[in-house]
Structure 1
Amino acid sequence: MKSDSNRTAMLMLVFACFFWAGNALVARSVVNETGPLALAFFRWLLALLIVLPFARGIWKKSSSLLQHWPMLLLLSLVSIVGYNTFLYLAALTSSALNIGLISASMPLLTLLLARLILQQATSRLQWLSVLLACAGVVWIVCQGSWQQLLAFQFSNGDLWMLLAALDWSLYSVLLRKYQQPLQQLGLSVTELLAVLLMIGVPLLLPLWIWEQTAFNYVGLVNQQGLMALLYVAVFPSLLAYIFWIKGVASLGPAMSVMFIPLIPLFAAIGGWLWLDEFLSSWHWIGGGMILLGLFSSKKNN
């Protein structure tokens, strides 16, 4: 029974990474016109409007929610306000190579934070699995050439991407840390997401207003922008976050974050299928290393 539950959780994590890969592809195509903060704000605003009718039970639990407001505020800051905002800001100035290399650090960061915050022991096989999956990502983003890796240079957006990686790793660990009080609140996954959105969207509003007054972005007024908004609001926002919360609750942060390297792998395949980008031998080799790392971590679980 537990084996079936674990397989379901793993499948959810795979789909979450698939949707987030689409988020990266969509954001890369529109963020320079729409603005990173506008995309983040309206993405979550639309997601909130969609999810609220399915989370009406939260109003009956308002007193319990207020008692746990510090925990809920922290979770909202790192999940709703933080990660995608940092990622969209990074996409303005950071290269795809740098973003891929830095995002590969998330499994390592999660293992370190899980050890520091949760006092969670990490086996040698877990470390080897993480390193193998990260090496697969590096192999893909440097196109199988270590010369490109040696020529790695930081841009202004790399700091934002590093913050994004640290932010998501922290969120994954906090979900496990607060698993018991969250269960005591009696919230479904949909209700928890609605609560986090109700906290995070107002916090993003002044950031979007500042962006509108400081920069001359076109906004989400054309068909491409609206279609992009609809995608990022439904798939990487609602479905992926619900799948991720359930996956972490079932498998824990150390195992769950091992699926993160699938994002650049799916992005490479997506670019090949929909953007006519060339899929070379380094994609297959790197993808094999990622899948081998995931399989090794599964055997260790």
Structure 2
Amino acid sequence: MSKYRVWFLLVICNLFWAGNYVFGKYVIADITPLWITFSRWSLAMFFLVPIAHYIEKPVWHRAKKEWFLLSCMGVLGVIGYNIFLYSALGYTTPTNAALVSALNPGVIVICSIILYRERISILQTLGLILSLIGALVVLTNGEMGRLLQLQFNRGDLLMVGAVIIWTLYTLIARRISTPPITATAISTGIAVLLMAPFAYNQGIQIGQIGTIAITGILYMVLFPSVGSFVFWNLSVQKIGVSKAGVFLNLIPVFTAIISGILGERVTGAQGVGGLLVFCGVYLTTGMLEQRLNIGNRKNKERPNDSGLTNSACCQEK
């Protein structure tokens, strides 16, 4: 798979996750965090298993050697992150939750450099910083002074927990050799089995679930659950943790765009912030560096007045 296709998958992946934030605020009003997580992933299993079987054609029993890592992925990425996220929305504002989640790319990059010795260039570091600034501009509507006025509560602390959990999930996903869709399907199956007794004990009032909540769950099943997790795990295995992590800064940008489509006003500051995020992601992908390197190579190989290339002249000297 080409790197351009991987970048496209990461953009789509985060677009789907942004929709999860939008629908989540409606679904949480009718369904508990545990049942949101349990129901969406139980239904997602009906798609993940056949998709993995027909696309990757895995030898399922070979995944046994990575059962511990796959179980950790299920506990962290499927159960932990989602329950922390939806629980946080019950105590804090969406702005505060999104603001805390904007720390995720930086945490992922730092951990991947320390643990996996991944290397990023100066331009890619600049891209990371630029995309973080853009995310903060979007979330604060251009009033960066609001960062000093935020009062952190239980929900904000839960979002810090969600950031840590997703970082651990991503680092583990980088280590496994099981194909990404198969890994997602297996870890999801493990998570559903672990959640089943707790969901049964908690119970659910089906008659109190509204149409919007049902639509939201269906969206979560098809796009954030199936699409995003498959695209994310595939991308992490292809380009590494640090580069994939920077794309998470697209979530607040896409959230603002979706909210604008649904009728909420999108300000000029949010537009500027979104542009900064896209520029930062562009720098992090390394496309600019590649073009600069190609340009330098062409200049070295260009014939001079004497008919020799620049490299040949150097050799003559």
Q: Is the 8 A contact 1:100 1:138 kept in 2?
A: no
Which residue is equivalent to 2:210? 222
Separation in 2, partners of 1:202, 1:251 = 31
> For residue 34 of structure 2, what is the amino acid of its counterpart?
L
Q: Which residue of 2 aligns with 1:125?
A: 123
CA shift, 1:210, in A, is: 5.0
Q: Secondary structure at the match of 2:151?
A: coil
Unaligned regions of 5+ residues in structure 1, if any?
none
**Which residue pairs with 1:135 in the alignment?**
133
Give the aligned partner of residue 267 of structure 2.
280
How far 1:209 moved relative to its partner? 3.9
Whole-Å separation in 1 of the counterparts to 2:76 and 2:124 = 25
Q: CA deviation at 1:220?
A: 6.9
Shift of residue 46, structure 1, vs aligned partner: 0.5
Listed one character per residue, the Cα deviations across residues 75-102 of structure 1 (whole Å, up to 9, x for unaligned) are 2222211222211111111112211211
The CA distance in 2 between the partners of 1:175 and 1:68, in whole Å, is 11
| Structure 1 residue 176: Cα displacement | 1.8
- Sort the Cα spacing of 1:210 and 1:150 in 2 relative to 1 into closer, same or farther, 3 A: farther
8 Å CA contact 1:258–1:294 kept in 2: the answer is yes
2:69–2:172 contact (8 Å) kept in structure 1? no
Greater CA drift, 243-252 or 37-46: 243-252
Tell me the TM-score normalized by structure 1: 0.88
What percent identity do the matched residue pairs reach?
27
Q: Secondary structure in 2 aligned to 1:32? A: coil
The structure-2 alpha-carbon separation of the partners of 1:21 and 1:228, relative to structure 1 and needing over 3 Å to count, comes to same
Q: Is the 8 A contact 2:26 2:213 kept in 1?
A: no
Higher mean C-alpha deviation, range 92-101 or range 285-294: 92-101
Pick from 226, 230, 235 the counterpart of residue 247 of structure 1.
Answer: 235
Shift of 1:219: 7.4
Q: Deviations over 1:158-196 (max 9, x none)?
A: 111111112222222222222xx32xxxx4x33222211
Equivalence for 1:9:
6
- State the SS of the aligned residue for 2:30: helix
Distance 2:29 2:40 in 1: 16
SS in 2 for 1:92: coil
Q: 1:20 aligns with which of 17, 20, 25?
A: 17
Identify the residue that residue 70 of structure 1 maps to in structure 2. Answer: 68
**One-letter amino acid of the counterpart of residue 190, structure 1:** I
**Contact 1:220–1:226, Cα closer than 8 Å, also in 2:** no
Structure 2, unmatched stretches of 5+, are 291-317
Q: Residue in 2 aligned with 1:203? A: 194
CA shift, 1:121, in A, is 3.0
Q: Report the residue type matching 1:10 in the other structure.
A: W
- What letter is aligned with 2:147? L
Rate the CA distance shift 1:59–1:267 in 2: closer, same or farther, 3 A. closer
Farther off after superposition, 146-155 or 7-16: 146-155
Does the 8 Å contact 2:58/2:182 carry over to 1? no
**SS class of match (1:69):** helix
* Residue identity opposite 1:284 in structure 2: G
What is the Cα deviation at residue 211 of structure 1? Answer: 4.3
2:250 alignment counterpart: 262
Q: Deviations over 1:97-144 (max 9, x none)?
A: 211211111111001110222122343333322111111111111111
Paired AA for residue 275 in structure 2: G
Distance in 1, Cα, partners of 2:37 & 2:208 = 11
Residues 60 and 174 (structure 1), Cα distance of their counterparts in 2 relative to 1, 3 Å cut: closer
SS in 1 for 2:13: helix
Which residue of 2 is the match for residue 193 of structure 1? 184
2:261 corresponds to which letter in structure 1? Answer: L
Contact 1:34 1:219 (8 Å CA) reproduced: no
Matched AA of 1:271: S
Structure 1 residues 55 and 208: CA distance shift in structure 2, 3 A: same
2:17 aligned partner, one-letter code:
W
Per-residue deviation, 1:65: 2.6
Q: CA 1:218 to 1:35, structure 2 compared with 1: closer, same or farther past 3 Å? A: farther
Contact 1:36/1:85 (CA < 8 Å) preserved in 2? yes
Cα pair 2:102 2:136 within 8 Å, conserved = yes
Q: What is the RMSD of the two structures over their aligned residues, measured on CA atoms? A: 2.3
Counterpart amino acid of residue 160 in structure 1 = L
CA change 1:104–1:70 in 2 (3 A) is: same
Decide which of 226, 231, 247 is 2:219's aligned counterpart. Answer: 231
